[in-house]
A and B are shown apart, each in its own frame.
Chain A
Amino acid sequence: MSEFKALDGNAAAAEAMRQIDPDVVAAYPITPQTSTVQTFADFVSDGLVKTEFVTVESEHSAMSACVGASAAGARVMTATSSAGLALMWEIVYVAASNRLPIAMLVVNRALSAPINIHCDHSDSMGARDAGWVHLFAENPQESYDNAFQALRIGEHPDVLLPVMFMHDGFITSHGLERVEVYDDAEVKDFIGQYKSAYPLLDWRNPVTYGPLDFYDYYFEHKRQQVEAMENVKQVIIDVGQEFGERFGRTYGLFESYKLEDADVGVMVLSSAAGTTRAVVDRMREQGYKVGMLKPRVFRPFPAEELVDALKHLKAIAVMDRSISFGAMGNAGPLFLELLAALQVYGDGRLPVSDYVFGLGGRDIVPSQIETVFHDALKMAETGRPERLVTYLGVRE
């Protein structure tokens, strides 16, 4: 039997970790991820899990310990934020390249400097080319649900890649919401056992992980990672479907809201999608044909599927919670990826504009999102964006 509890995002993720009972968790506390690891540490000392909990001296060590444990054959989880992810950097690539299905909660927080503990997506977006699968959650429930699916996706034999699952720092991590917590046994049955094909601890079949790999084979190993990434989309869909059949909430690559008959749409990740949904409802009441698309998966970028869902629109506004400094227009990564996708899978003529918002935890309020929709409606009339990028709410 499932039950409803009042949990913030971090407590929900920790609750998922309790139910998963990973073999190894190696983590270092960092705001705003701290309460996940702290709550999980309580579970460890209270004997509620059998996990080997490794307290390390830095995130570089946390991910290193995760890599070692995963290579040994363990089911491994960790959690981090911002500077912690940045410090892990080297080993984040190693985890993906060694094909280790580690699941990591990333509580999105701005990167320094100036130092800032609040939400934006610059931390995980910076790691977008590292070879991990990226899942974004809008609220504590989605983050809780993603924790289980992250394991199933990463551990799938066609994938074998690490998965990071995100929720917004403070907004989601410390925002108390109603979360349906499933029955322990049901969860255990869904996630099953992780059986590594080549566990290092199997001394009867000794293998080497991470040897020197030069110009003769390195390129082929990268090509294999491409193949795994290609396989991810279908696995996410299958796992999301199975999850829905068991627990009642079906997940896919993205969620669209009132998009089918819309003239214009806003594409936005994570918690801001909740606010956007309310704005869509209000504007619909006023007679505007507007809709929203909330990507769940950023890596692999579901280019073809997104274009399919958006191509009937007359204009799209993308909302990015990070900047790709020096990229075209100093736009955000979500916008840039969508533009490329529209060029390849669409006719490339759909007007699109980017709205960078909420950096360093700056509030995003419904009236601002309304201006984005009105801009998009104007774009639909004129057929071209007034500006490529708008920094929404920044003081001039």
Chain B
Amino acid sequence: MAKKKQGVDMKDAVWVLAVGSQLGLSIALPVILGLAVGYWIDTRLGTLPWITLLLTLAGAIGGPIIAYRWVISTVRKRFEEGEES
């Protein structure tokens, strides 16, 4: 057997995987949500495409902001724990 590899902490690996997968979705999903809700409202009010456009744009702008705020708070929490322990 070769020299034992430097072990990766399973907990950290899963944390990075989970945060990464959530990050991607929290950028993509607000756009889809904006599109779906906008289209639903537009078909009800007969104002196609204005509210769809507005909410899709709002999703496209809000998604990265939500992702940024979430990552900052998550990483800060993680570092606080690291300092405590």
Is chain B found bound to chain A in the same assembly? no
**Chain A residues within 8 Å of B, Cβ to Cβ:** none
**Chain B residues within 8 Å of A, Cβ to Cβ:** none
